[in-house]
Structure 1
Amino acid sequence: MRIAINAIFLQNNPMEGYGHYTAEVLSRMVALHPEDEFLLLYDRAWQIPFITAPNVHSVLVPPAARHPLSFKYWYDIKATRAVKKWKADVWFQPYGFCSVTSSVPQVLMIHDLAFLHHPEYISWHQRAYYRWFTPAFLRKAKQVITVSEFSKADIIKTYRTDETKIQVNGGAVRKGFQPMEWEEKQAVKDGYADGREYFLFIGGIHPRKNLLNLLKAFSHFKKWQHSNMKLLVAGRKAWQYDDLLEKIKTYKYREDVVLLDYLPEEQLQRVTAAAYALVYPSWFEGFGLPILEAMQCGVPVICSNTSSMPEVAGDAALLVDPADPDAIAKEMLSLYRNEGIRNAFITKGLERAGQFSWDTSAVAIYESLRKAALSV
């Protein structure tokens, strides 16, 4: 079988959620099926291939697809021609878009419908593109994959998609996220937090991540506890971040807030494993990989009680209303003041993270690709 893969997010500049998911499942499929050919379609020149093997071919298909007009041109014309030229049997689309012109059967992955629930966080032209074409993408795809039961129910309710067409395959923890010894943790704290304990947030700096309420919660925590704890924010400046950065300039505890920007993988693993707790009060997530990554590192988690996050966390995290900074702060305080509670959630988290598997998702997605290829 010759499998075409949309690889436009497999770029290290930096690679984030969509790209990580694709890289993890694709690397496993390539290894499990040496009899198949995998065709990776890039819209820009790649620096270092993420996946190399004798059965992998990387193909450059310009121009870069980074705005609605270029999306249509790339998916419906340029990439469609490349897939036809290479005589692919099936085409995996991991990023929510697909071609509406290709005759090659496609498996579409939609992580979430955040553009509908929080349209204010994306530009009007991207919002219009999502709203106009997502129904067509769902109709065109032979199979649809999403990452949580929450997102599956959301897609069915919104677009009345046949539920038998949708398969749930969640994420899992990447290699390297693991507990560290005390000496290693202290070295990280010395390097990033002046030797102090710290709460950690992981994610891009933009309104959907709800960093403003996290700062308010951190203020409450500092007032109530008078500790020297710090708050580290690991993530790139994504969009609509100017207002937040201005507020930080006059923030009372600004000396205890460290903006780390995007961290390379190895550094992120170490900063995660050395954290006192992860605080993840995002408004909306299709899955929320940082929750599981922190759990696998033996770090307790406070996360939102909205969208897919309760499904991912189970009973292994402290769930809070992301609109209530007081509630977030109280859970930060409960972990700080009660080591028994903290240790209990560390144990639960390690068990919970172990229930998710990239291998399982890779096998299930490959089966979806096989079925789609046979549907012609």
Structure 2
Amino acid sequence: GRVQTWGGGRAWRWVGVARHYRRPVAMEKLEYLTAASLLLRREALEDVGLFDAGRYFMYWEDADLCFRLRAQGWKLAVAADALIWHQRSSSLGHTNPLKDYYVMMSAGQFVRQYARYPRLAMILGALGRVTRRVGLGRWRNAGAILRALRGAPYGLSPSTAVSPSPRRSGPLRVAVEATTLSGRLAGIGHYTAALCQQLVTEGSATLAYFTARSWAREPPRPAGLRIPRPLQWRKRIPMGRELQFVLQGRQLARLEGLWRPDVILGPNFVLPPAKAPSVLVVHDLSHIRYPEVHPPARVAFLNRHLRPALARAGAVLTDSRFTEAELLHHFPEVAGRTHVVYPGISGRFAVAPAAEVETALDGVLLGDDRRFFLFLSTLEPRKNLAGLLAAYAALPAAIRGAHPLVLVGQMGWQQSNFAAVLTGMVERGEVRMLGYLRDELLPALYRRALALVYPSLYEGFGLPPIEAMATACPVLAANVTAMPEVCGDAALYCDPLDVGSITAGMRRLAEDDALRARLAAAGPARAALYTWEAAATQVLGVMREVVGR
């Protein structure tokens, strides 16, 4: 992680700029200590007084206090062995124009008090700040700095903003990285589609979508029953993901030039560099915790691009507090820019399916009316399918005969690891593979199931358990990562690394009617906590904060 400051720094009075030291220095070089973590003797405060609230608001008050302390003979020191966790810019956000306004206002107060030529210092400091903001495309931030230089009230009206175009009012213009909407929707694709639909429904944002191929005002998901998968070339050619990333950047540049979005939304971990501020979504860090369950090319790509994308982002969204903690552990530099926004689920899961949906599901199940254990996810190592198959195989024959294991989802990576075992179980009629099912069938599928079994090794949220709960389907979930936070007391838990624990949980669900009834009763109330309406409102608020509107 990056050190924000080694205790304090130096104030360049001739330009009104403070620079934190990021590595140990001699104590006599410290001109101020940061008030993010500051210990003071009572006698020192009695000697020089408290922060000067009459002059300073939010910024520079610690530098002023330290200058007054040093003038009275007090010495500054750093506890070199101390480690302090600081939520950077948590009050306003790192890229908010209002932060630049208050920093400039307080810097002006400081140089008036301590600089030999205060007006020159203010102009030079403002020039440097404006140059950096314009270079990053943050025109509203540059306008806020200039207003502070003039001592004008905060506000970026069309007559005072330095942006080359008037500031827009009304709905935010949001450019969405939409690769996951191309083809069959998996977890992140469902997230992106539902969030974008809700943002449009509320009328608070207008959206444009870009992929490596093009950009458009409509999402790129093709219509019809046959859904092509145009981006599979990235897995077949060397550096395919890198090429896709470059092409995404080109399409984003075209979109910015022609449509001029206010903010870029990246729902899939990384975004190419852009002129407009960005909001990034990090769903989990499984590629760091469990790199062996991902394709090496995916791990290498995320390791190369995630940190720079986080550095560019004005805000970072996570699906749970667990993922936020993981993110802060591995990328402490994002402190102060993270926001937990729980995903929602579609309201259709709480509604009884229509008759034609039930008929269609009968056809999929080939008339088999047995209650089944359901596993719904992409079939890949991270979801612990190998552990589930072993656990199911260990159940008594009578339970396996009464309750087959039904697998729903498209094939993922390394399916060969469990293909032999799976083939034998399918041939014996113990396991049924339904493949990828249309979304319309899922609520009815959950209602037919005896229980959803979800022993995933690592989840940043986990939509299937909450979807199942909404339909009153009992859930057996892993007792690790975000699952206990998300599912609460409405699920039965197992140790995903212990096949015996998964087997025991499945057996309890098969034999204990009272347990299933309790979980079925608790599920809908838990699922009702997660709505796309609430998620969209939060995301919109974060985006407005990032662009200063």
Fold match (TM-score > 0.5): yes
Task: Kindly indicate whether the alpha-carbon contact (under 8 Å) linking 1:186 and 1:274 is maintained by their aligned counterparts in 2.
Answer: no
Q: Which residue of 2 aligns with 1:16?
A: 186
1:33 partner amino acid: G
- Tell me how far 1:159 sits from its aligned partner: 0.9
Q: Which residue of 2 aligns with 1:233?
A: 407
> Which residue of the other structure, out of 269, 291, 298, is the alignment partner of 1:96?
269
Secondary structure at the counterpart of residue 497 of structure 2: coil
Query: What is the distance in 2 between the residues matched to 1:190 and 1:92?
Result: 40
Distance in 1, Cα, partners of 2:398 & 2:362: 23
**Residue in structure 2 matching 1:333, options 494, 507, 511:** 507
In structure 2, how many angstroms separate the alpha carbons of the residues matched to 1:314 and 1:179?
23
- Deviation of residue 249 (structure 1)? 2.5
CA offsets, 1:109-131, max 9 Å, x none? 11111111111122323211211
Q: 2:482 aligns with which of 292, 308, 313?
A: 308
Q: Deviations over 1:120-176 (max 9, x none)?
A: 122323211211221111111001011010100000000113432000111122132
Q: Contact 1:201/1:234 (CA < 8 Å) preserved in 2?
A: yes
1:27 has 2:197 as partner? yes
Contact in 1 for aligned 2:210/2:216 (Cα 8 Å): no
Shift in Å, 1:362: 0.1
Corresponding residue number in structure 1 for 2:337? 165
Specify every segment of 5 or more residues in structure 2 that has no aligned partner in the other structure, as ranges: 1-171, 222-229, 235-239
Distance 1:48 1:201, change over 3 A: farther
TM-score, normalising length: structure 2: 0.61
In the TM superposition, structure 1's runs of 4+ consecutive aligned residues that sit over 6 Å from their partners are 45-48, 62-65, 183-187
1:180-225, Cα deviation, whole Å (9 max, x unpaired):
59x9979956851722110000001111111111111112223474
Match of 2:64 in 1: none
Alignment correspondent of 1:110 = 282
Task: Give the unaligned 5+ runs of structure 1.
Answer: 53-61
Inter-CA distance 218–179: structure 2 relative to 1 (3 Å threshold): farther
Q: Report SS of the residue matched to 2:373.
A: strand
Q: Secondary structure at the match of 2:245?
A: helix
Cα RMSD (Å) of the superposition? 2.8
- Structure 2 CA distance, aligned partners of 1:64 and 1:104? 29
What amino acid is aligned across from residue 490 of structure 2 in structure 1? A
Counterpart residue identity of residue 307, structure 1: T
**1:229 deviation in Å?**
1.2
Residue of structure 2 in register with 1:38 after alignment = 207
What is the aligned partner in structure 2 of residue 58 from structure 1?
Answer: none
Task: Quote the residue 1:299 is aligned against.
Answer: 473
Deviation at 1:311, TM superposition (A): 0.9
Change (3 A) 1:270 1:43: farther
Distance 1:230 1:125 in 2: 36
1:235-291 CA distance string (max 9 Å, x none): 011111023122223349841200111101112222122101000011111110000
| Conserved? CA contact 1:155–1:161, under 8 Å | no
The counterpart of 2:368, out of the listed 187, 194, 197, is: 194
Residue in 2 aligned with 1:7?
178
* Structure 1 residue 47 displacement after superposition: 12
User: Cα distance, 1:49 vs. partner?
Assistant: 5.2
The structure with higher relative contact order (CA 8 Å, sep 6+) is 1
Instruction: Give the C-alpha shift of residue 42 in structure 1.
Output: 3.5
Contact 1:63 1:74 in 2 (8 A): no
User: Which residue identity is paired with 2:402?
Assistant: N
Label 1:7 to 1:186 Cα distance change in 2 as closer, same or farther (>3 A).
Answer: closer
CA distance in structure 1 between the partners assigned to 2:498 and 2:411 by the alignment: 24
In 2, distance between residues paired with 1:115 and 1:43? Answer: 23
* Alpha carbons of structure 1 residues 19 and 252: separation in structure 2 relative to 1, 3 Å: closer
Deviation at 1:28, TM superposition (A): 1.7
2:382–2:456 CA contact under 8 A, matched in 1: yes
**Aligned counterparts of 1:292 and 1:64: Cα–Cα separation in 2:** 30
Q: Deviations over 1:280-324 (max 9, x none)?
A: 011111110000000001100001011111111111101110111
CA distance in 2, matches of 1:14, 1:372: 32
Q: Secondary structure at the match of 2:329?
A: helix
Deviation at residue 64 of structure 1 after TM alignment: 8.8
**Whole-Å Cα distance in 2 between the matches of residues 63 and 230 of structure 1?**
35
What secondary structure sits across from 1:167 in the alignment? Answer: strand
Computing the radius of gyration over CA atoms, which structure comes out larger, 1 or 2?
2
- The one of 319, 325, 336 aligned to 1:153: 325
Change (3 A) 1:167 1:226: closer
Contact 1:2 1:38 in 2 (8 A): yes
Distance 2:518 2:339 in 1: 33
Partner of 1:357: 531
> Percent of pairs identical after alignment?
29
Distance in 1, Cα, partners of 2:295 & 2:447: 35
The change in CA–CA distance for 1:84 and 1:373 in structure 2 (over 3 A counts) is farther
Aligned partner of 2:389: which letter? L
Question: Aligned residue for 1:134?
Answer: 306
Q: Is the 8 A contact 2:279 2:313 kept in 1?
A: yes
Q: What amino acid is the match of 1:150?
A: F
1:81 aligned partner, one-letter code? R
- With normalisation by structure 1, the TM-score equals 0.88
Indicate if the aligned counterparts of 1:89 and 1:105 stay in contact, CA closer than 8 A. yes
Counterparts of 2:217 and 2:409, CA distance in 1: 22
